């Protein structure tokens, strides 16, 4: 690609493309918006890097706290989605005193060592052995239900299977269930209404936290601030 403007990209041959990926969220503001460019230039002229507190860093974490649901009011900034997920897993383990994590088939949370065991498919082939204590179960993909069921007649069969899998395959030491509200890398798989509430109830039932990885869906990508 050669340049971008708004939601449009141009390649080196002059072909135009509407960018529906937006850098997996990184370019959600589009390309080369005059206000965006002006603010970036202004900040570059002052200070452009550093983990120390600055005026705009403080304003950003305050804004995120105001936008976040419920009483969530603390923010930690990371360089990548995988790094953020690893931090969320560490936080869940510290908060619960437990160690195991349950993810889902088709889920994608990055490619670093701390999250690689949660991925399914070829992303982790040939990279073993991987960190222990991480498991995965079928996602609520009703269009391609692995159980051959139909929603809502299935009565959340996939959640019941997840419950049975935890009982049979783990050491009953689940710190967190981690899920994408909409699975992006798997093909934009949208679960049926109520799925996240069912997972929330199951997590509470077993004394675990529910981590929603919104790297792809967060900050307006689904039409709402959070999916």
Residue spans per domain, the chain: 3-49, 53-78, 81-212
pLDDT number for residue 101:
98
Cβ contact 174:206 at 8 Å? yes
pLDDT number for residue 13:
98
pLDDT number for residue 149:
97
Residue of 227, 217, 212, 209 lying closest to 97 (CA atoms): 209
Task: Note the pLDDT tens digit of each residue in 139-180.
Answer: 999 999 999 999 999 999 999 999 999 999 999 999 999 999
Give the three-state DSSP class for 205: helix
Average pLDDT, stretch 3-21?
Answer: 95
Please check the confidence at residue 87 and state whether its pLDDT lies above 90: yes
* Helix-, strand-, coil-residue percentages of the chain, each rounded to 5: 35, 15, 50
Q: What is the mean pLDDT of the chain?
A: 93
What is the distance, to the nearest Å, from the Cα of residue 171 to the centroid of all Cα atoms in its chain?
25
Average pLDDT, stretch 72-83?
Answer: 90
Task: Say which CATH topology domain 81-212 has.
Answer: 3.40.640
Q: In sequence order, what are the residues at sequence separation of 6 or more whose Cβ sits closer than 8 angstroms to the Cβ of residue 213?
A: 81, 85, 88, 107, 109, 178, 179, 180
Please check the confidence at residue 25 and state whether its pLDDT lies above 80: no
- pTM > 0.95: yes or no: no
Query: What phi and psi values does residue 209 have, to the nearest 5 degrees?
Result: -95, 155
Tokens of 98: 């437990």
């Amino acid at each position: 690609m050669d340049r971008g403007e708004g939601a449009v990209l141009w390649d080196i041959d002059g072909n135009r493309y509407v960018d529906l990926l937006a850098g997996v969220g990184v370019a959600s503001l589009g390309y080369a918006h005059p206000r965006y460019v002006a603010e970036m230039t202004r900040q570059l002229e002052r200070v452009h890097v550093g983990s120390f507190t600055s005026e705009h860093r403080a304003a950003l974490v305050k804004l995120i706290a105001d936008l976040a649901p419920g009483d969530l009011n603390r923010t930690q900034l990371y360089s990548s989605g995988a790094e953020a997920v690893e931090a969320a897993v560490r936080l869940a383990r510290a908060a619960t005193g437990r160690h195991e994590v349950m993810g889902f088939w088709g889920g994608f949370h990055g490619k670093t060592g701390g999250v690689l065991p949660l991925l399914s498919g070829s992303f982790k082939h040939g990279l073993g052995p991987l960190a222990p204590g991480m498991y995965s179960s079928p996602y609520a993909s009703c269009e391609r239900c692995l159980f051959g069921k139909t929603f809502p007649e299935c009565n959340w069969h996939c959640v019941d299977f997840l419950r049975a899998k935890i009982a049979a395959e783990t050491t009953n030491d689940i710190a967190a269930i981690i899920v994408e509200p909409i699975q992006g890398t798997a093909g934009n798989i949208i679960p049926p209404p109520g799925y996240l509430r069912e997972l929330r109830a199951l997590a509470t039932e077993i004394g675990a936290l529910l981590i929603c990885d919104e790297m792809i869906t967060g900050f307006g990508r689904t039409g709402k601030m959070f999916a």
